[in-house]
Chains A and B, each alone.
Chain A
């Protein structure tokens, strides 16, 4: 091709690229409309019309703000909202302290057994909230908690009580720290140490460097992790349901659940409360974007480096013991509690001696569990729906993340905003919205695994995109530009440059999605049928049925399954992490 013909072809090429851009954005927008806008519209309609849109038709003419006004003036809603903000705010603060500490320990110190600490830091992520809460209520209920029985036996005059705001904050904090860890560890691993080295040469102490250089540099990761953990906590039902109910600490999710659970159910009011929740979360998302925008956080460029590791000296054993204590609190104690409850005929433990009375133990709860054909079916269904969600959700999230952050495609702002919307809708209500939106569609989506998978993909899209975007944002544009200069097309560049560099992020995002889908309860509640029953719903059934034994037995089965799956995922993503270390070196 001569220079002249190239000059003639270029505008045509550019024109084709622009029309492809429009087509691409259009396709994404149509998909997002189906997944997000349409169900949210049904929700808003439900909140405004005081009807079930599917049953009563679209009562457009009866639009009224009555529900909103009633809800806004209801002191109980104010109380639940305040509790939500306090519990999630406190929980987030604790999660940041724990998550950031462990990510720093793992990535930037010479603490021994770092792989072990890294694994420990992620473990709470696969504990379903309901399971964690049930385990902790067995451990630390004020009168008969196992911990309290123990310390009473030892003669210490102190009692744990998880049925308090402090208990709620502590459980939120320790179980949602991995969100902060996930974001900050990968940012710390991928950051350029030049500024830290400069500070060190200038005579700054390690602690000062940490707080004035390192943490500010990874601020977007900290804020993203913080925001995500706060938002996830805000939408969690299992923990406040188990721990908040006995202490009369209603939060927004338990309040919404109550509204949907009364007979007759008050969905319109629930939708109105949900819209308040959406507004709160929307404001937080806006705040986060305000903080992040206008600053450059590119820390991965086309240069090789390896962040420095701090020599902690003898203190490294303290950091190691912190991880061991965390492991005990998050995994060992709750698992022991579940084992006791699952194998013990009844959970009435008068004394420490009675705890070790083997006559009190049997396999009856497991026998009853597997006597129910739904139990095994729910396990298969859950795996299937988790896999579909992870694969398709991961691909969609990458497509959206790339379009928003790395291209100039038309409509990418709208794509960004729409794909962030589901973050603000609690699962319980999103389930109703999807039911209303999709049940009437031709093609028989309702009653299949796909309706659950689609709901999960839509519901967790913001989480997945956020997890992906952090790694996408860190890749300098110059790497892609270099690829284009060398003659690679867009898809070629994505395949050979972006995907390999973002691989740890992509795998982490898909793993996250898989785990979130497996644990998801709220949005499944309205979408499952007898054929598509999932584990989380059956677990809630058992919990609601008041049998702690079977609930614990099923929780143990779930925990074990998740542990195996996490092991596989960890193995896969470790390949990714190794690549990233190799790249850095």
Chain B
């Protein structure tokens, strides 16, 4: 057999790529229409800033690329605070390289909403109005809090938020993420005080939980057995369980605090069509279903395409913060939380 040249190989690979891309007109409408898809194909790539973790983002990108193999996603992941600084500084210098941004803190994103262009996903009307902070920013990711535990170590796991105050789950058995770690944790501690009671923090702190800077090391410590119970976002525990770790996670009956991300397309985007196509896919029923099924996310769609295991919409009460209070109470309450939990800020 004759050896193929590099050019022949490239041409063959491109043909194979094109062949693997097939989409009906009706489907195309779900993602913004053929015109947008063609424009995105021409751009071929876009730069995506996110505050979500690298691993689940990589899986989302992979699934998107199964649908649209011709758009390369260049990922920049940074924790919330750093990401905002990067965006603000780049934008001020006229060098914002992000085409699309996905951020965990809606409050901070609202403050820089003028950096984003008008963008509405095709299924905008299917989303809950009460979680939108700007018509330009959309809840691509929705995360819910849960109680997770190591099944090898915890034979009598807690079943509710109130159980976490019982002395049998202490000392140093429960892992907690510190309140000032970001918008997601702030949402949770707000829920604890407003729903579970003014004295919930004090009761819970008495079990002497181990404090972690963020959710990821908390769940890792739980899998390794450093702690046996972890208050973490459901998706972090879900991925570990999916991959076979000795982990189980429950949605407590008193309520599940939810954190909605804010995602948008930058005004200065060099590849706005590719960015929009990506966000359209993420926001579509297909994209949301993928995130729920494979990654343990929740959704801000009025009618969820499906529910994560253990999620019964008739039983589970979701809780979202009043946005005004979310901004106003933050500093004072976090300071009080730090005092109660003996966390030095």
Contacts and interface: CB of A to CB of B under 8 A. Distances in A.
A96 B182 CA distance: 40
Contacts of B81: 260-265
Given A246-B210, A263-B183, A530-B75, A348 B225 contact: yes
Contact of A439 (B58, B80, B93, B345): B93
B77 to A, nearest CB: 6
Contacts of B141: none
B196 interface: no
A526 B82 contact: yes
B36 interface: no
User: Which are the 7 A-B pairs with shortest beta-carbon distances?
Assistant: A546-B216, A265-B81, A530-B74, A76-B344, A546-B220, A55-B92, A439-B93
15 contacts: A52-B92, A142-B226, A143-B226, A245-B212, A261-B79, A262-B81, A345-B245, A346-B246, A368-B55, A371-B62, A439-B93, A446-B95, A528-B76, A533-B76, A545-B53
Contacts of A80: 344
Interface string A40-81: 000000000000101100000000000000000001100110
Contacts of B229: none
B224 A548 contact: yes
Contacts of A181: none
Interface string B39-55: 00000000110000111
A258 B79 CA distance: 11
A358 B310 CA distance: 32
B180 interface: yes
A178 to B, nearest CB: 29
A347 interface: yes
Given A436-B89, A439-B89, A348 B53 contact: no
Interface size class of chain B, counting residues whose CB lies under 8 Å from the partner chain: 35 or more
A414 to B, nearest CB: 30
B47 A530 contact: yes
Contacts of A241: 213
B167 interface: no
A533 B221 CA distance: 28
Secondary structure of the A contact surface, majority rule: loop
Contacts of B101: none
Given A545-B53, A547-B55, 8 more contacts: A76-B345, A260-B81, A265-B82, A348-B246, A446-B93, A530-B76, A541-B54, A547-B220
A55 B88 contact: yes
A246 B227 CA distance: 11
Interface string B115-149: 00000000000000000000000000000000000
Interface of A: 52, 54-55, 75-76, 79-80, 141-144, 241, 245-246, 248, 250, 258, 260-265, 267, 345-348, 350, 364, 368, 371-372, 374, 432, 435-436, 439-440, 446-447, 525-526, 528-531, 533, 538, 541-548, 550
A55 B92 CA distance: 5
A52 B219 contact: no
Contact of A260 (B75, B85, B92): B85
B215 interface: yes
B226 A262 contact: no
B174 interface: no
A547 B108 CA distance: 27
B150 interface: yes
A264 B84 contact: yes
B160 to A, nearest CB: 25
Interface string B240-284: 100111100000000000000000000000000000000000000
Nearest to A360: B244
